[in-house]
Amino acid sequence: MATAEVTVQRPARTVSERMVGFLTKSPVHLTLILVAFIWLVPTVGLAITSVRVPADITGSSWWSSLLDWRYTLNNYDTVLSRANMDRSFVNSLIITIPSTLLPLTIASLAAYAFSWIRFPFRDTIFLMIVALMVVPIQMALVPLLRLFRDMGIANNYGGIWLAHTGFGLPLGIFLLRNFFITLPRDLIEAARVDGASNLKIFLRVVLPLSVPALASYAIFQFLWVWNDLLMALVFVQNSDLWPMTIRINQIQSQFGIEWHLLSAGAFLLMAVPLIVFFALQRYFVQGLLAGSVK
Amino acid sequence: MRRKRLVSLAAIAVLVLGLGACGGDDGGGTKEGDGEVTIFSLWGGSEEEAFKKVLTQFTQDTGIKTKYEAARDFLPVIRTRLNAGNPPEVGILPRPGFVDELARDDALISLEDLGLDVDKINENYGETWTDLATFEDTTYGVVAKANSKSTVWYKPNSFQQNGFQIPKTWDELNQIVKDYKSKGDVPWAVGAQGRDNSWTLTDWFEQIYVRTAGGDNYDKLFSGELAFNDPTVKEALGEMLKNVNDQYVLGGIDTALSISFQDGIARVFGTTPKAEMYMLGGFVGGIALGANPSLKPGTDIDFFPFPTIKEENGDPLVGSGDVAAAFVNNEDAAKLIEYLSTPAAGKIWVSTGAIVSPNKGVTEADYPNELVNKEAEQVKNAESFRFDGSDLLPGTLGQDFGTLLQKIIKTPGQMDSLLDDYQAEAEKAFS
Amino acid sequence: MSSTAVPGPVGRPRGRRLPTFFARSSWQGFLFIAPAVVFLGLFVVWPLIYTITLSFADTNAKLKIVDWVGLDNYKTLFTDDKEFLDLDAFPPTGAFVNNLKWVVLYTTLSLGLGLLIAVLAARVRYESMIKAVVFIPMAISATAVAIIWKFVYDPDPDIGSLNALITLFGGEAKAWYGRADLVNYALIWAYVWASTGFAMVVLSAALKGISEEVIEAARTDGASEWDIFRRIQLPLLSLPISVVTVWLLINVIKVFDIIYVLTGGGPGGASEVIAFSMYDETFTNGEAGYGAAIAVVMLLLIIPIMAFNIRRFRSERVIT
């Protein structure tokens, strides 16, 4: 950006000067065009394949189909009905929403305490919780299976909700506490002087002011759970409860590599994250940046 | 401070572990079912549809509803569900080797415990088949379906055009391969990608080995009495490599290792075929017809029995089967297992053209198309029968055998060291 | 009393009594953090301890403990498991070695490309478009990434874009995930493709935080673009670079989805990584104790990385 500004501020340039300017910058443009190519082609190729007639897919390449223009939405229909992706979509929602709201609630309560309530060992406990971010999910798979069995929730969603909540808490607490602590002290102090309880301060003062941070964490956690595969593999046992990430793997092997189904399925899988990305990019990036140690 | 906390946590841990360790199994007696039985297998596609027809009839006959679930990762799902106390009521085990392993750990309910008349059920099958579902003299399940694996799939019209005869010997087959190649055609397609398809290579090996080394050696090899780095094994591998190599396989070994067996079949019998023959079991017919319904059995697609290699070892049939077993002891599961052992179930099942039934009560008339009929004939008239070797191996040895073969076809020069390593692993597994 | 006190500087203030356990603010504090502590204790801490304990045992098909074997699992893992670590082969192979390949290639490529794109994009008008395009893969699941790249790597030039490109230039189509010598690089590149966006976004934000005047001054002093990059921008980026590196390294140790979906560990186990081995041993082979040992190894690898990160943060006064 700085470079562009500098050149603009100079007095009017001649045509040749401008051409020289462009040429010296053309390696930059070329590189970036190459980058855009590499980052777009794979996805675009799959997208086009998902709307092609199955017989065409193995016969001719996807870019040549741009000339034929023979497309169909059948694949999406088939994959939704025959491969049960429609149910899996709903399942993904059922898994993801509580797994986002629950940790959000618990983490914000805890983060508030770590920021604005004094109690013994506060900072030690906080550090220990943050340290738990190191624990990989693999450490919990077998023990939680046993635990969920004893709790009687092994054959429904209870297990995965609890597991995702547990593992989403360290990051949430870290993120939210770091934000809460930047809130103006006077506001909190004033509320306390007015006799407000901690709960009231939390609900009336802190939360409303923290919407960006809460949104960032919520979106980050939502996408994390939506895209998860491993936990679902272990904790969601009955096949009619499977989320999309598992379901799409089944398409992969039962029917060989049927690209017309796999590509459509992949795009259904990507639909929600892409929408979230385009609509709420800012919050997502923030969450990712702050969560750069998840 | 922290240390104290850790110590107390550790103490709690031991306690909790102790508590966790005593989650006993349900004790004896067949319980009442809840009117619905869950069945789990790794079948999808046409196999699933065929099986569901059987289940529908079961529901009609008994009023018990069925819920069918499938997953490609059969073992991991079974293990997690067992561990979580949430196993499916009935499972279709793709390998008899699993019967042994799961029975050993008390995960299966024996037919007796289910309250079934074991002798009556076993009457339906020949001894070879009931052996597969038996562990330490107790029968745990019934053989649900069977397949011949001694089949080589080819295109009759192509053979006719080229003036090829059905090969009866290995040399004749190898000659056809060379002839195809010299005409510019690709003789074989192979699909052996990853963990899901490596077993196709074990099928190749087993067909060859039983014919080069003989039935006795075959039995010894797959029960741990003969070493895997024995010269007979290397001899069979040598014969296999004469065909499964870069020259004669579509796209070379690299492609073979990157496509699934369904893709491989499609490359021979699909709408844009690129190769001429496919070596795999009787179920290829069903898959090929599913992928390309315009195929005419007898003209476009057919199989010939795997040719003899050494005359003295004749023409043994190597086949496979799935075992249906119960994980939960209740009446619904018992009734389903019983139903699957009846000729009636067998008849419905084979009418779909997807399988061959080992059930004695199923006759030729029940088979719907010539290909399956031919396969059933082959199974019935086999002069000797051997079960798919890799499916008999214990633990992960069977899966690893497939991986071993993948490595061997990729780097034949390392055959000796690869076999030595595998033998070391086998010794451990068999002990 | 303490109810009107507001949190002061962190740590114990000298010369003042701590709020006692029974002070009102104290138990309120405990109440607020109670749900979190309970959840974490039950679902993270207890499993952690359980798994560590499990790693010293042997299990049966139902994943129940049958035998205590001490350090045997670890010993076998590092000396006798060719799929995990094979020092006899040259160069060494195994899941552990694969993770090392990932560490080197994935980290440097994601970081390097992220930095390069951040720097270049800053100089053009369509910067936000480029950044969005590169960043999108971060939002989609690793499963989707795996499928996208399985498509690109397909051995058939009519389907696989990469092989199509190669054959266009007269080369031979390769089996990218069918060959043991190529598969890891194929996988690593796919994940780099998905992760570069993160590095790019962090570094881009950091770059913009560098004061323009300093750069201007250097320019008028006659410094070349390269000098500016090396002497001014790079040093100031050292914290963000280490943050990104830490994130990438932890990713490497945990990488699972993309391998499970794209290759299932094949061909012949050539693309297995630690996280995949853990799943395989525990759930396919039924060796939960052995799998637990692998999980512990993962933990032991992550801890130093995180410790370094936290220490870095503290020194830069980013947290507490």
Is A9 among the domain residues? no
Helix (H, G, I), strand (E, B) or coil at C129: helix
B46 vs B412, residue with greater confidence: B412
Residue B317 gets which letter from DSSP?
E
CB distance C61 to B101 below 8 Å: yes
The answer to whether residue A6 is domain-embedded is no
A120 touches chain B (CB under 8 A): no
Residues A144 and A263 in one domain: yes
Of B287-296, C100-109, C246-255, where does mean pLDDT reach its minimum?
B287-296
Given 1.10.10.10, 3.40.190.10, 3.40.50.150, 3.30.565.10, which CATH number is that of B151-315+393-430?
Answer: 3.40.190.10
- What mean pLDDT, rounded, does chain C reach? 83
CA proximity to B349, closest of B321, B329, B391, B328: B321
For B291, the token pair is 């992928």
Tokens of B222: 């797959």
Q: How confident is the model at residue B27 (pLDDT cuts 50, 70, 90)?
A: very low
* Domain annotation covers residue A23: yes
Shortest alpha-carbon distance between residue C6 and chain B (Å): 26
Q: Apex CA A54: angle with CA A51 and CA A59, to 5°?
A: 110
Which is it for strands B90-93 and B36-41: parallel, antiparallel or unpaired? parallel
Residues in B touching A253 (Cβ below 8 Å): 44, 72, 196, 260
DSSP class of B37: E
pLDDT of residue A24: 62
In whole angstroms, give the CA distance from residue B58 to residue B40. 16
DSSP of C134-161: HHGGGTS-HHHHHHHHHHHT-SSTTT-H
Residue whose structure tokens are 């074989």: B188
> What phi and psi, each to the nearest 5 degrees, are found at residue C160?
-80, 120
Residue A291: pLDDT band (50, 70, 90) is: low
Least confident of A83-97, A128-142, B140-154, B374-388: B374-388
Query: Looking at the structure, do residues A126 and A66 belong to the same domain, yes or no?
Result: no
**Alpha helices, H only, B105-197:** 118-122, 127-132, 156-162, 170-182, 194-197
Phi, psi angles (nearest 5°) of residue C57:
-135, 175
Domain count, chain A: 2
Cα–Cα dist B283/B301, whole Å? 13
Full residue range of the structural domain in which residue A279 is found = 80-290
| Subunits close to C (at least 3 CB pairs below 8 A) | A, B
- 3-state class of C299 per DSSP? helix
Q: What is the spatial distance between Cα B384 and Cα A23, in angstroms, rounded to a whole number?
A: 79
Residues C175-202 have pLDDT tens digits of 888 788 889 999 999 999 999 999 999 8
Same domain assignment for residues A199 and A272:
yes
Task: Give the residue among B304, B267, B265 at the shortest CA–CA distance from B288.
Answer: B265
A107: domain CATH number?
1.10.3720.10
pLDDT band of A2, cuts 50, 70, 90? very low
A268 and A285 fall within a common domain:
yes
Pick the CATH number of C95-139+177-271 from 3.30.43.10, 3.40.50.1400, 1.10.10.10, 1.10.3720.10: 1.10.3720.10
The pLDDT, as a whole number, for residue C110 is 95
Please check whether residues A28 and A108 belong to one and the same domain.
no
B36-146+319-369 CATH, one of 3.40.630.30, 3.30.70.1140, 3.30.70.270, 3.40.190.10 = 3.40.190.10
The C-alpha atoms of residue B91 and residue B81 are separated, in whole angstroms, by 12
Find tokens 């031919």 and name the residue.
B374
Residue C52: the pLDDT is: 92
Last residue of a domain, one of A28, A48, A72: A72
Statement: residue B119 has pLDDT above 80: yes
Cα distance from N-terminal residue to C-terminal residue, chain A? 31
Q: Tell me the average pLDDT of chain B.
A: 83
DSSP secondary structure code for residue B330 in this structure = B
Predicted confidence at residue A293, as pLDDT, reads 40
Residue A184 lies in a domain: yes
- In this structure, is residue A102 part of a structural domain? yes
Q: Report whether A50 contacts A260 (CB < 8 A).
A: yes
Contact residues, chain B, for C178 at CB < 8 Å: 193, 254-259
What percent of chain A clears pLDDT 70, i.e. is strictly above it?
87
pLDDT score at B21: 41
Cβ contacts from B onto C, under 8 A: 107
Inspect the interface and report whether the beta carbons of B13 and C53 lie closer than 8 Å.
yes
Domain boundaries, chain C: 34-92+284-320, 95-139+177-271
Give the whole-number percent of chain B exceeding pLDDT 70: 92
Query: Do residue A209 and residue A86 come from a single domain?
Result: yes
What's the rounded mean pLDDT across residues A212-219?
90
Distance of CA C241 to the CA centre of its chain: 14
- What pLDDT, in 10s, does the model give residues B233-261? 999 999 999 999 999 999 888 888 888 88
Give the model's confidence band at A290: pLDDT under 50 very low, under 70 low, under 90 confident, else very high.
low
Q: Is A13 near chain C, with CB under 8 Å?
A: no
Q: Are residues A101 and A196 in the same domain?
A: yes
Hey, what are B91's tokens?
């499972």
Do both A281 and A236 map to the same domain?
A: yes
Interface of C with A in 171-230 (CB under 8 A): 193, 198, 201-202, 205, 208, 212, 215-216, 219
Q: Distance, in angstroms, between A194 CA and closest chain B CA? A: 38
pTM of the model: 0.81
Q: Label residues B71-99 b or e (16+ Cβ within 10 Å = b).
A: bbbbbbbbbbbbbbbbbbbbbbbbbbbbb
Residue A4 has pLDDT above 50, yes or no: no
**Confidence tier at C258 by pLDDT (50, 70, 90):** very high
Nearest to A106 among C39, C244, C320 (CB): C39
Q: Which of A72, A92, A114 is the last residue of a domain?
A: A72
In a domain, A3, yes or no: no
Average pLDDT of chain A is 84
Nearest CA in chain C to B6: C49
Is the pLDDT at C319 greater than 60? The verdict is no
Q: Are residues A180 and A282 in the same domain?
A: yes
pLDDT tens across B202-243, in order? 999 999 999 999 888 998 998 888 999 999 999 999 999 999
* Chain A residues 133-192 with a CB less than 8 Å from chain C: 133-145, 147, 162-163, 165-167, 169-170, 173, 178, 185, 188-189, 192
DSSP code string of A107-160: HHHHHHHHHH---TTHHHHHHHHHHGGG--GGGTHHHHHHHHHHHT-TTSTHHH
Is the backbone peptide bond immediately before C267 cis, with ω within 30 degrees of 0? yes
Residue spans in chain B of domains classed CATH 3.40.190.10: 36-146+319-369, 151-315+393-430
Q: What is the pLDDT of residue C23?
A: 66
Place of tokens 């509803």: B65
Cα angle at B1 between A291 and B5, to 5 degrees? 75
Question: What is the distance, to the nearest Å, from the Cα of residue B23 to the centroid of all Cα atoms in its chain?
Answer: 34
* pLDDT confidence of residue C264: 83
A90/A224 same-domain check: yes
Q: How many Å apart are CA C269 and CA C83, to the nearest integer? A: 7
Of residues A224 and C269, more confidently modeled: A224
Phi-psi bin for B277: left (phi > 0), alpha (psi -120 to 50), beta?
A: beta
Q: Say yes or no to pLDDT of C18 above 80.
A: no
